[in-house]
Structure 1
């Protein structure tokens, strides 16, 4: 095949000129046409054995020479293609505009580089990575063209498959109703989907991945690094997020899995280094949380309605006993006075008084038996932020209908206290209900309720303030006495609310006071110890 190509080239062109154009100075000028055999043979062998398909054509693209790689790539032996036009390799799938650009470039004595769809001798198509360069004479005229091309079909198909797989992955990700993002070890986003992009505009917090990663690391602490090193995932990490302007609260659940892949940079060519990635799934669970909150509030309403019923019965019976005890004390005093006289003239009256006392005592004893017992309570760690949040949710409709502005200022990471969650809920509901009623009765157009939680060195402080009429100084001690109320007669208030509130605070070894320095309404300050144990006896003796 080599002899055939060279012979054909010698017969149809000046071989010496062509070689001189390809490798100037290789041919010596001693003797007309004399060849330096050693460089010439080396040059010919190089062209023949180079692993690139090489062809030389005249100005009309008629093939004058092909090397062995050309025959291997195209399937055409030298004797099959010499003298034929390069166009016989072309496939109609290559657009005419490509050939137009090709000829315009090489005709202007420039090198053209591009890709063509060629046809193998057997009929199959292949992708050719082609370079064509014009060969110029001493006067700068085009005499021949040299073409070099490689079959890049396998590389092309592999690249297309990789692109298609990437597009498939992106399509699957974009079809997901969840926000999904792939993050590298520098927290840079490598791949995301449409739902994730939507979060960028919805949350208004910059890159959502960075925001959620920060919260995940803070919540998980050392567990984050441990799971990352073991390539173990995490799931159902829930976070509350305020959207732009704090106008809306949304809940999200985060799931993540780490995976590794081989590094693709040049530096890792001889080193099987791995790179770790995290695929993070962010699920909007706002609706689910809302349903859970609604169910939680419904459960709270049921529990608190029962507590309210028991408390109402207790207050009614205790109030009746109090009212009976007042005249009973007077009757007992009269009875003792008559006994002191002991003149025998009032024996019938004394007997009547004793009978009345006996009936009264029986009535009180009967009512005492009718007083329902308080439910058994469980002492457990309680988060006061959660308890107060529950009460605000419980009173949401009432607060909204009255146009009350709530300033809820909880301290983040508030420590738990040991106590009865149910009793504490009763305590704060009583105080918040009192604040709402005071503002409504005051008929103030700018009604404000502020609730603050704070931590001290060894205590937790809760402040509940309103801008209602307040409690006069002279009545501040009395409001904690049984059956004393600041509400007008006929309001249905038994005057036991703050008595029960103080009782619950005492059970938790805390303190409750009315702030004397607050003059815009009323402010209750309640403090609970952090490290003092709470006894079950304090609750059982209530």
Structure 2
């Protein structure tokens, strides 16, 4: 439709002022109906408001206002309209409101808008509009039909404001909510937020999964009962009414259809929400409702590992007791059998002293001694526990050393020993006998601790170093203790050699066994002859295979 230009006219202000003066003192002969109709524009016929006031109120309104005819041709636009759209009044008068349209608004929205206002009903909604400079903005729009005295639809009054920032804030809020839900659903922990009545108002996927496993029973109530039995009080009441928090309370649940007990570590925290009422706008807030945050971590696998470790420890202790009992019985039998040749030896010795010993008699006695000795040796040999063959596995030497250090922590602290741990950043794993290597490292570290203890030094240091080799790993165990004399560098590896001042409880087999384990791994062990100020034990380990 071709745009029509606004006709030249007398300024609106002058017309409105003249109309106000006419109403205030109408000329003689003016029909009273005209005066009454004009006076109604002011609301109070006895004291009518000047028409200029209505015009200025619309003109100065901070909301963009436009008036169109029945075909949506713009007849009037206020200053806020100009500021928001970028168009001057002269640029939009005589043009259709579609001048502001943006193709981003779906067609069905415009169709629904037009049907509504043609039915003489007010339409409100949001459109994507475009400014004069091509920028897009969200317009919150209200269009009201204007009906004349004869009931004819003559004009439309449109008011809209820019809600782009509000939409951006709402989008950010929805995005933040989506992120929060994603994090909660991805968390491997049961999370639920409960209101003051104990009803769940927010939960995550782990909570819903447990709800399914409980076959419709509310997990919060099930955990509440288990916690109450554990603590001897109602934890939800204590948390909601007294503000108490509970951390990592372990409870067990027997779930129907599952063969084993499930374990959960539960935490309860009170959460005070802020007052969202209108009164709180200026800071005069009332106490908000208290919520309860329930966290439950499934620790079933950890509990099973603890129970398995406990059973393994118990099994090992029982096996050790049985072994000790068997060794006691074997040693008692050996002692009994050794007593026989000792008695024979005593008898033969007495015969020799008395000069009555006959060679044949002495030979018979010696045969008896030999036979009894063989029996005693066989008994002792049978009492030796059978050595179990350990399969070769992938071994991380750094990990084994850390485990031994953890086992020795109490002794190291008690003796005031400072450990300087220098592991290689990248250390290749090798095939080896893990338990043998762990026992070997413990022998060597025990020796270093004993050497530091006997040295009497105030500053005691233990340095552990690992480094990679071409086909294996090198380990150095260094201490600033009493050291090893040069003439004893090889003797210390002999069985039953004891070089300690305090020999109690020492078998002299630690380094001999260590050398045997190193040899089994195709390596070597030595005392560094050039190191002074203590002892430096250097060993290399190579890969072994499962059958070695």
Q: TM-score, structure 1 length as denominator?
A: 0.48
